[in-house]
Amino acid sequence: MPYSALGLGLAGLIPFIAMPLAYVFNILSITQSATYFVQYSAVLLSFFGGVHWWDAISNQRYDKQMYLAMLPTIVGWLCLVFASDVKVLGVLSLSYVAVMLYDKFTLSLPKDQIVSYIGLRMGLTTVAVVSHAWMIFLLS
């Protein structure tokens, strides 16, 4: 896994950490912080569906993988529609874990690359899930 992937992955965590902190330090209201958090989370979840879209097309696997590639986008969109409900944060959090597990068993990468990718995703997903839990705590 190139260092740029690690750097970009870590940079992708900034909004997950910044939005709760923005509320804690009175930079944003809890409503603004939670809204921006959910918006970012939904957009990023959609990105992971694109990984499977690319994998299905690149490997000419026009089976259920291509159709399931749209699921993160649909879930993300529904979370935006219902963003005022705190349960949305739980749905997004569980979706990150589900997509990571789906990646592990579906992506057509060489074994050494899939191990590196899943290792990276596990670390990043852990921080994202903990951040979702933190935002739920702040909203409670």
CB atoms within 10 A of CB 56: 21
Residue whose C-alpha is closest to residue 95's, from 39, 44, 53, 137: 44
**Assigned domain for 4 exists:** no
- The CA distance from 124 to 17, in Å, is 12
Q: What is the pLDDT of residue 80?
A: 95
56: containing domain: 11-139
**Assigned domain for 2 exists:** no
Q: What is the pTM of this model?
A: 0.91
**Assigned domain for 72 exists:** yes
Given a cut of 70, is residue 62 above it in pLDDT? no
- The CA distance from 91 to 95, in Å, is 6
Number of domains forming the structure of the chain: 1
Instruction: Give the confidence band of 56 by pLDDT, cuts at 50, 70, 90.
Output: confident
**Assigned domain for 1 exists:** no
**Assigned domain for 5 exists:** no
DSSP 17-63: HHHHHHHHTTSS-HHHHHHHHHHHHHHHHHHHHHHHHHHHHHTT--S
Q: What is the pLDDT of residue 116?
A: 87
**Assigned domain for 85 exists:** yes
- The CA distance from 14 to 77, in Å, is 21
**Assigned domain for 79 exists:** yes
**Per-residue pLDDT tens over the stretch 13-44:** 999 999 999 999 999 999 999 999 999 999 99
**Assigned domain for 91 exists:** yes
End-to-end CA distance of the chain: 38
